[in-house]
Amino acid sequence: MDYSQFLMMPQEIGLLVVFLLVFLYDTFMPAKTLKGLPLFATIVFGIFTIFSFCPVNVQEGMAFGEMFESNKATWAMKNILNIGMFIVLLQSIKWANSDFVSVRRGEFYELMLLTLFGMYLMISGRHFLVFVIGLETASLPLATLVAFEKKHYESHEAAAKYVLTAVFSSAIMLLGLSFVYGITGTLYFSEIASSIQGDNSLLLIVALAFLISGVGYKLSLVPFHLWTADVYQGAPTMVTSYLSVISKGSAAFAFFVILVQVFGAAYASIWEWMLYAIIIITITVGNLFAIRQRNLKRFLAFSSISQAGYIMLGVVAANHVGMASMMYYILVYIFSNLAAFGVIAVIERKTGKVTTDDYNGLFKTNPWLAFVMMLAMFSLGGIPPFAGFFSKFFIFLGAAQTHSVAIYVLVFIALVNTIISLYYYLLVVKAMFIRQDECVIPAFKSHWTERAGLWICTLGIIFIGIISCIYASLSSITSSLTEMFAMI
């Protein structure tokens, strides 16, 4: 065996090292020092995040019999996820040391890191076996994480819902993959792509639909979204924020690769239309349901459903601008959504309040938290000069690159939905800033780690859009993937 292949996966190895360090700390350190475990895990992960940014490490090519690909796009995507993961870990330090959770804090960090490893495999896998292993590694530990607040009834309910839907959708996806295997006799992306050229079997279309529904569940696209609101509400807020951004981002990237690389050449017109319909209902249903929500976690659940629809616009584009815009969108979305969830988590930990009405007059008592929340809402709603505006504009540009009138109609529907979404994002802003007569939440001081996490998000929201080199580098990375888009 050629051990140099492992050089292709520096990030995976780095993550495993982080995992092992956390595991060893958890197992062998005296009980007194375990209070430092969350901080230790965060710092180690932070160092890993910074190191994995070094472009020296990027080895391009295929490893392990072409099952695993490493290129600049996967490298960039993993880094984007790392940033999000770092913020989540940073924000969860205080929570992980709280009374009910602290006995199991080691498990929390270990399971989080494991799911991230699964997502890495989803991103880099070029064989369906690797992809499925990645998907399962990313899904199943999350069920444990969702059930992490043992004393809360909702947490259990959420975990049960999550695990049942996860298993069910995996089963459907595996059935679809078995169809693919039956037709082509292989599970390699590249081999499937070349063997289905010109082949137009109905079975393959069914397989494609099953595959889309399997991944669509991960992304909580409508109509595979029914678990989302309950799970988001019941899960601990840190896990919810993890579910809503990181898990979604990795699935979106893997989805793009599969659709374009495997089915791109022969079936582009079919899956594009499937996605077309899914996007329209995803964005619309997500938005319309979000309007009625009073619980902010449910509210953000529906908001994130509609955001997933916007991310899918990049997939429909199926070109390098779309891919760059999608990655950029995910990056911006990580900062915006983690800012919103960060504020919710802080307030929930301190006061236990999570409804919109509780946020009345927040600006008066906690101006800084209200300000961060407002930035997050504006960024999610796509208001300039915040990052969300740029990401929305670019994803629309990417989609419209294809020049068809149908895509313009799609973009128009998405734009109309932006206005609807702006309505409910402004409802939160209204509660915090305009309803100043009653103040439900008293003034309090948040922990420094939580503030640090929110600061990172704030800086990200303000500067990612204005500093153009981030998008430019993503764009140059994706435009170098000529092989991938050659067939489309």
Partner 1 sequence: MEIFSNMLIYFVIIPILTLGGLALCKNKGIDAIRAVAVTGATALVGLALYLVFYFLRQRHLGVTDDMILTTSVTWYAPLNIKLALGVDGVSVVMILLSAFIVFAGVFASWKMDPLPKQFFLWFFLLSTGVFGFFISVDLFTMFMFYEVALIPMYLLIGVWGSGNKTYSAMKLTLMLMGGSAFLMLGIIGIYFHSTATPGEYTMNLLEIAKNNAIPHNWQMYLFPMTFVGFGVLGAMFPFHTWSPDGHASAPTAVSMLHAGVLMKLGGYGCFRVAIYLMPFAAQQMGWIFLTLTGISIVYGAFSACVQTDLKYINAYSSVSHCGMVLFAILMFNNTAMTGAVLQMLSHGLMTALFFALIGMIYGRTHTRDIREMGGLMHIMPYLGVGYVIAGFASLGLPGLSGFVAEMTIFVGSFEHQDMFHRVLTIAATTSIVITAVYILRVVGKLLYGAVQNEHHRSLTDADATERISTATLIIAVAIIGCFPNFFINIIRDSFNPVVEALTSVM
- Token pair recorded at residue 278: 């899914």
**Which of 61, 468, 483, 488 touches partner 1 by CB under 8 A?**
468
Q: At what angle do helices 72-96 and 105-124 cross, to 10 degrees?
A: 170
Residue closer to partner 1 by CB (options 33, 468) is 468
Task: Count the residues of the shown chain that bind partner 1, applying the rule CB under 8 A.
Answer: 35
Q: Kindly tell me which residue out of 5, 194, 479, 480 binds partner 1, with binding defined by CB under 8 A.
A: 479
Site for partner 1 in 295-334 (CB under 8 A): 321, 324
Does residue 51 interact with partner 1 by CB under 8 A?
A: no
Of 346, 230, 322, whose CA–CA distance to 268 is shortest? 322
Would you say 324 or 332 has its CB closer to partner 1? 324
Question: Does 133 sit near partner 1 (CB under 8 A)?
Answer: no
Q: Residue 188 or residue 433: which is nearer to partner 1 going by CB?
A: 433
Closer of 6 and 408 to partner 1 (Cβ): 408
Please state, as a whole number, how many other Cβ atoms lie within 10 Å of the Cβ of residue 356: 18
Q: How far is the CB of 396 from partner 1 (least distance, A)?
A: 6
Distance CA 163, CA 159 (A): 6
Distance CA 177, CA 65 (A): 20
How near is the Cβ of 44 to partner 1 at its closest, in Å?
A: 35
Of the candidate residues 47, 129, 406, 416, the single one contacting partner 1 (CB under 8 A): 416
Residue 287: closest CA among 389, 423, 169? 423
Question: Binding to partner 1 (CB under 8 A): which residues in 365-404?
Answer: 378, 383-385, 389, 393-394, 396-397, 400-401, 403
Single residue of 53, 100, 168, 412 touching partner 1 by CB under 8 A: 412
**Residue 429 within binding range of partner 1, rule CB under 8 A:** yes
Q: Which stretch binds partner 1 (CB under 8 A): 133-141, 162-170, 408-416, 446-454?
A: 408-416
Q: Is 294 in the site for partner 1 (CB under 8 A)?
A: no
Question: Per CB under 8 A, which region of 83-91, 127-135, 348-356, 420-428 contacts partner 1?
Answer: 420-428
Q: Pick the closest to residue 64 from 130, 152, 136, 163 (CA basis).
A: 130
Residues 194-253 close enough to bind partner 1 by CB under 8 A = none
d(Cα 474, Cα 251) in Å, to the nearest integer?
A: 18
Pairwise CA distance, residues 432 & 30, whole Å: 45
Report the Cα–Cα distance between both ends of the chain, in Å, rounded. 35
- How far are the Cα atoms of 207, 213, 221, 331 from residue 276, in angstroms, in the given order? 18, 14, 12, 23
Token digits of residue 85: 């993961």
**Placement of tokens 């991944």 in the chain:** 215
411 binds partner 1 (CB under 8 A): yes
Within 8 A by CB and 6+ apart from 193, the residues are 261, 262, 263, 264, 265, 266, 487
How far is 44 from 14, CA to CA, in rounded Å?
A: 10
Q: Which of 141, 398 has the CB closer to partner 1?
A: 398
Side-chain-facing half-sphere of 282: CA atoms under 13 Å: 28
Q: Contact residues for partner 1 (CB under 8 A)?
A: 321, 324, 378, 383-385, 389, 393-394, 396-397, 400-401, 403, 408, 411-412, 415-416, 418-419, 422-423, 426, 429-430, 433-434, 436, 468, 471-472, 475-476, 479
